[in-house]
Structure 1
Amino acid sequence: MGHHHSHSHTHAHPDLKGRNLFISILLNIAITIAQVVGGLMSGSLALLSDALHNFSDVISLIISYVADKLSKRKASFQKTFGYKRAEILAAFINAATLIIVAVLLIIEAIERFQNPQEIESNLVIWLSLIAILGNGFSVLLLKKDAESNMNMKSAYLHLLTDMMASVAVFIGGLLMKYYQLFWVDSVLTFAIAVYLIWMGFDLLKDSTKVLMLFTPDATPINKIVDEINTFESIKNVHHVHIWQLNEDEIHLEAHIDFKEDISLSQFDVILHKIEDFLLDNYGINHVNIQPEFGKDDAKDVIVQD
């Protein structure tokens, strides 16, 4: 059985991820405390909703921080892959909490819209400004890593949506202060919640696909099989599995039926050609091939194990 793996993705400053997450955690703890106190004093549901979202940010950032640390641990006999999937699991949890928080906000917004209350708008305005600045700084800290890491993206989305929510609360505070439109507080809360669901769904879907070992969307199995079938001495490629382990690794496992009873050294030459082809064209960097000759088994591309 031929086996190979290589890592084509590198991170120049992996230590900065943890540091930036830790700074964001401290900022969001401070913002949450300020908003809870301010929301209770002012009577603003939007501000309390924003505080609840900020608290979910703190939880999500802590989860992301722990997952980042776990992902760096080495493999062992009991954990042969190490904790490579910790960040994907964190992304799934964080995306799910985004949607749960959003549903709770919608319920509260509907109840408050039916019974609007007068709100101390000055406190709402100033606290929302503080939240905008704090979350904005956190967003900038995580933006770069969010482009290439699902775990960091989940934390980034929590912060980005919270910053947008704070902008909405700020606008609502101004409308309540100058136009006495207190119902705006509930409408903005509802809008924030819908936005959270929209942002969280894609990430939940993507992380679920990875956890369920689904083939990555950009990896065309039939095309890959057809191209490998054109290699010299290869009769048939079958029993194929392709899955994404984490942000850096895409695995391919397959059985290859050869036209002739070739030697191991000949197989190694062909294997290296397959590995280079898959890495260069599809980013598949972990290849596991089972060579066969005249074996009586199912020759379908996809075989149910």
Structure 2
Amino acid sequence: MGGNHHHHDSKGTKLVVSILLNVIITASQVIGGVISGSLALLSDALHNFSDVLSLLISYIAERLSKRSASTAKTFGYKRAEIIAAFINSSTLLIVAVILIVESIERFVSPQEIESNLVIWLSAIAIVGNGLSVLLLRKEAGSNMNMRSAYLHLLTDMAASVAVLIGGLLMKYYQLWWVDSALTMAIALYLIFMGYDLFKQSLKVLMLFTPAGIEIENIIKTVNEFPSVQAMHHVHVWQANEDETHLEAHLDLHEDIRISEFDTLLLKIEAYLKKEYGINHVNIQPEFNKNDAKDVIVQD
């Protein structure tokens, strides 16, 4: 338990450091954008501001997810991080659309800007976002909420790289269109990355069957266990990334004792955990009960 608590605290600390870095970057880019007249810098400041918001959402969700369950909230706040991932992936897609519109407008009417300030401030943003990306990289692999925050930072670092390249090309070659082309490329990458996370988090929120779990195979195997006549009324869903639940009704051939059913249940639970990682099983035993025997029942 102590290791898990330390892991949670570590996540929270890393998010706070990333928030502070991005507040500094955003403030400097707004000031620099106004002084230089650079739309690129101001748009990059907007992306960084969206990072601050997404990191705040991730931090609040991470704190909430540690709260204990109660009679009023029997699942606790286990969904908080999934909701945060859903909000953050949604905003990634919205920012991408704004970027596409922005890049088209800028391509149609390119503007001359103070490139030196753009170069320096985008370089600072790259360093700041780069540090944040490194901080969250480890957690991003195993947690949907942290992955959504990580993606915001990674794509913003890429946007800052684009602004830097654009600033250099504008300074030395006066190629004003490069900034628009790079912005468009980043926006498309944002959609590519954000959509997958949006889809994953939406599936969890909608209680869809998790990927890789084949209900037909589960039923076929469970029906071969001794005493089992038919498994039906099956629901499989994720509470969060760590918890997969299965509930079902189990028709039995005989009117067996509770102790015999417990032995059977332990075998079924071991099979579901080993084969599918299902770690919360709730099975209702039945004998000659007159109810719907469909595998999937719309409650």
TM-score, structure 2 length as denominator?
Answer: 0.96
Matched with 2:297 is 303
1:194 aligns with 2:188: yes
Which stretch of the first structure deviates more once superposed, 91-100 or 292-301? 292-301
Aligned partner of residue 122 in structure 1, secondary structure:
helix
1:285 aligns with 2:288: no
Matched with 2:129 is 135
* 2:249/2:285 contact within 8 Å kept: yes
Give the superposition deviation at 1:91. 0.3
| 1:89-141 CA distance string (max 9 Å, x none) | 00000001111111112222222221111011111111111111111111111
Match of 2:86 among 67, 75, 92: 92
Matched with 2:251 is 257
Distance 2:112 2:279 in 1: 60
1:17-56 correspondence runs (5 A): 17-56=11-50
* 1:44/1:185 contact within 8 Å kept: no
1:237-252 correspondence runs (5 A): 237-252=231-246
Give the superposition deviation at 1:196. 1.4
Gaps of 5+ in 2: none
Give the superposition deviation at 1:236. 0.4
Match of 2:150 among 138, 156, 160: 156
Give the superposition deviation at 1:11. 7.4
| 1:145-197 CA distance string (max 9 Å, x none) | 11111000000100111111111111111111110011222222222222211
- The code of the aligned residue for 1:171 comes to I
- The code of the aligned residue for 2:187 comes to A
| 1:185-222 CA distance string (max 9 Å, x none) | 22222222222112111111000000000000111111
Q: Which has the higher contact order (CA 8 A, sep 6+)?
A: 1
Change (3 A) 1:218 1:227: same
Matched with 1:218 is 212
Distance 1:158 1:11 in 2: 26
| 1:222-265 CA distance string (max 9 Å, x none) | 11111111111111011100001001100000000011100101
Match of 2:105 among 101, 106, 111: 111
Aligned partner of residue 231 in structure 2, secondary structure:
strand
Matched with 1:3 is none
- The code of the aligned residue for 1:97 comes to T
Give the superposition deviation at 1:14. 2.0
Matched with 1:183 is 177
- The code of the aligned residue for 1:250 comes to T
Distance 1:164 1:95 in 2: 17
* 1:45/1:185 contact within 8 Å kept: no
Aligned partner of residue 37 in structure 1, secondary structure:
helix
- The code of the aligned residue for 2:22 comes to N
Distance 1:251 1:222 in 2: 16
Which stretch of the first structure deviates more once superposed, 79-88 or 179-188? 179-188
* 2:162/2:179 contact within 8 Å kept: no
Distance 2:227 2:137 in 1: 48
Distance 1:240 1:11 in 2: 34
1:145 aligns with 2:147: no
Aligned partner of residue 13 in structure 1, secondary structure:
helix
* 1:91/1:207 contact within 8 Å kept: yes
Give the superposition deviation at 1:43. 2.4
TM-score, structure 1 length as denominator?
Answer: 0.94
Matched with 1:58 is 52
Distance 2:38 2:273 in 1: 54
Give the superposition deviation at 1:45. 2.2
Count of aligned pairs between the two proteins: 298
Q: Sequence identity of aligned pairs in percent?
A: 71
| 1:72-99 CA distance string (max 9 Å, x none) | 0011111111111000000000001111
1:267 aligns with 2:261: yes
Matched with 2:120 is 126
Which stretch of the first structure deviates more once superposed, 159-168 or 42-51? 42-51
* 1:119/1:182 contact within 8 Å kept: no
- The code of the aligned residue for 1:155 comes to A
